[in-house]
Amino acid sequence: MATTLPTGGLSRRAATLKALTGAVRGDQIFRILLTTAALAIPALLLALLAVLVRGARPAIAQFGVGFAATKTWDPVAGQFGAFPMIVGTLLTSLVALLIAVPLSLGVAVYLTEFAPGFLRRPVAMTIELLAAIPSVVYGLWGVFVLIPLLQHAVFPFLRSLLGFLPLFRGVIYGPSVLAASIILAIMIMPFIMSVAREVLLAVPGSQREAAMALGATRWEAVRTAIVPYARSGLIGAIILGLGRALGETMAVTMLIGNRHDISASLFAPGYTMAAAIANEFNEAATPMHYAALTYVALLLFVITVLVNAAARFLIWRVSRGGVSGRNSA
Amino acid sequence: MNRRTVRRVKSNVMVGIMMAAVIVAVLPLLFILASLLLRGASSLSLAFFTHLPAPAGESGGGVLHAIVGTLIIVGMASLAGIPIGAGAGVYCAEYPGSRLSLVTRFVSDVMNGTPSIVVGVFAWTIIVAPQHHYSALAGSAALAILMIPMVMRTTEELLKLVPNSLREAALALGYARWRTTLSVMLRTALPGIVTGTLLAIARIAGETAPLLFTALGNQYLSFRPNAPMAALPLVVFTYSIGPYEEWHRFAWAAALVLILVVLVLSIAARFATRQRFGATRD
């Protein structure tokens, strides 16, 4: 730095020197502030993990890993096992994915490959607005509009059509695993759609042109040249949707019926991990009940962190090779 | 020839299926908005915005306490969340190759998907449990944690769009690095960052799960941050699971107000980005 000092009067040189050291000090302070903020995020993640582990310790000590495989959940007797809610969480998320994935991938492919230009942005924006609707509003709508509709029209129809499967047998309740899965599907669809769209936009145009030049129809170009190129990113988008579905709380709590049991029928009420925490945390009477619910929160946290990390890794692999340099999801 | 026709038909059928998917995907949004308008709008009146809820069994009343509560809780969350998120975003844009920025970027992507209920349990354990009482502050802390990764990503993405020549020009004119970052880089990216931050605020304003056992909600107008406080999403939840028909009407009206706030914020934010981006590139 000294070499860039201008030659001049001694006082001027001193002034410049002072200004430069001031700038250096300013830079140091600035960098320290920024580094603190950047450190705060990983620190928060560790703090979350540490606090949850500490809160769950009594339950971990008493029930161990078997917690996840035990069926009883009896706060009065102090017996806790999370198996039914873990099954409920996985089941609702999987059924939601079965509904949402074909829809959202179809929309994403249509919007990036086939839709007329004037339609693309408005449709994408409209669907993304679905993501802005608060979960509790989905819950309200689900309870008063969706459930009556399902109970009186859709479920009886499904039972008569697919009743040979155990999944669609039994008494039709309003609040049920299937109702919760359907609301989840509506909620995660915009996430999968917008990430899939980003990934598909990152596929180089030359992929499509090459396929078309070889005589492929537009659909064959999608199937043989575009989707394979984007495959891991699309899987990432789906896993990201799975992460959302696993942790979704309010709407599921209001629609799933909240019963600590496992049933073969999708028409029966069930429970999810997030719904159990939302329902019982305020009413927990014993320290062990709190610890058990915190244990459930810890399991949910670890599962979603792993699922999200996997999704980000897959998306990052596609966008790294993308021409448009999109690296956000 | 025949085979070619089959292929073309297949292609068109697939495109048709995808168009149907678009319609099916857009339907829920229209359905939800229509229900909200049909069931909520009739209960909306001026009193709904300026009064407290009527005692159970009586009709009328409003959600003034919840509107004020949401403003205070979200305001406090933003005061904590925006500086940390923006600071971390600037760090990752300024030192993109450093190990810390790789870690921070990855962790904030992962945190973005953390269930909000888990963050609620965290806030309960570190704030509510030691204090032995529910508080708006605990709710704000939970919302701030949800907000930080969103603000961080927006700040970083938008700073990366600022042309490097601007930075070089400022440095060549003798600006210190910190001033270059603050008054040239951040200044240029500011409109977009404000937009992204508005989106983040819209999202946390609708969060219910983290407030359930932190802010808890109450029936009165409260300005005390260290006491339970009402919030719009909590009102929607409490009144919708209640047994009275009158409560359900109230829940629909509150949901309509909530969704108007959230949708207006997000739509305004999106339009603002598009226009301002045009301006920065000119």
Q: Could you give the maximum distance between any two Cα atoms of chain B, in Å? A: 79
pLDDT at res. B277 = 46
The DSSP output letter for A74 is E
Question: Does the pLDDT at position B72 exceed 50?
Answer: yes
CA of A273 vs chain B CAs: smallest distance (Å): 10
Cβ of residue B104 closer than 8 Å to a chain A Cβ? yes
- CA B264 to chain CA centroid, Å, is 12
CATH of region A64-328: 1.10.3720.10
Interface A–B counts its CB contacts (< 8 A) at: 272
- Which residue in this structure is represented by tokens 């969706």? A146
May I ask the CATH class of domain B46-281?
mainly alpha
Q: Which residue of B has its CA nearest to A122?
A: B26
- B5 burial class (0-12, 13-18, 19+ CB within 10 angstroms)? exposed
Q: Could you give the maximum distance between any two Cα atoms of chain A, in Å? A: 97
CB contact under 8 A, A52 and B118: yes
CA distance B65 to B51: 8
CA distance B126 to A50: 11
Q: Best of B6, B118, B252, B273 to disrupt the A interface by mutation (most A CBs within 10 Å)?
A: B118
Q: Which residue of A has its CA nearest to B27?
A: A127
End-to-end Cα distance, chain B:
52
Scan residues 57-96 of A and list those with Cβ closer than 8 Å to B: none
What is the complex's ipTM, to 2 decimals?
0.89
The domain limits of chain B are 3-43, 46-281
pLDDT at res. A89 = 94
Cβ of residue A17 closer than 8 Å to a chain B Cβ? no
Minimal Cβ distance to A297: which of B28, B121, B203: B121
Is the pTM higher than 0.95? The answer reads no
**HEC sequence for B91-148:** HHHHCCCCHHHHHHHHHHHHHCCCCHHHHHHHHHHHHHHHHCCCCHHHHHHHHHHHHH
CA distance B204 to B79: 13
CA distance B140 to B134: 12
Backbone angles phi, psi at B229, to 5 degrees: -145, 145
Q: Best of A1, A48, A137 to disrupt the B interface by mutation (most B CBs within 10 Å)?
A: A137
Handedness of CA B98, B102, B108, B109 (dihedral sign): positive
Structure tokens at A249: 């709380």
Full pLDDT tens readout for chain A, 329 residues: 445 555 556 677 777 777 777 778 888 999 999 999 999 999 999 999 999 999 999 999 999 888 998 888 988 888 899 999 999 999 999 999 999 999 999 999 999 988 888 888 888 888 888 888 999 999 999 999 999 999 888 888 888 888 888 888 888 888 999 999 999 999 999 999 999 998 999 888 898 899 999 988 888 999 999 999 888 889 989 998 999 999 999 999 999 988 888 888 888 899 999 999 999 998 888 999 999 999 999 999 999 999 999 988 888 877 665 434 343 33
Taking each helix axis from N to C end, the angle separating A83-109 and A287-321, rounded to the nearest 10 degrees, works out to: 20
- Specify whether the CB–CB gap between A78 and B145 falls below 8 A: no
Structure tokens at A221: 């170009």
Cβ of residue B167 closer than 8 Å to a chain A Cβ? no
User: Of the ranges A217-221, B146-150, B173-177, which is most confident?
Assistant: B146-150
The domain limits of chain A are 64-328
Q: Is A73 helix (H, G, I), strand (E, B) or coil?
A: strand
Structure tokens at B264: 């207006």
- Specify whether the CB–CB gap between B226 and B136 falls below 8 A: yes
Other C-beta atoms lying within 10 Å of the C-beta of residue B116: 24
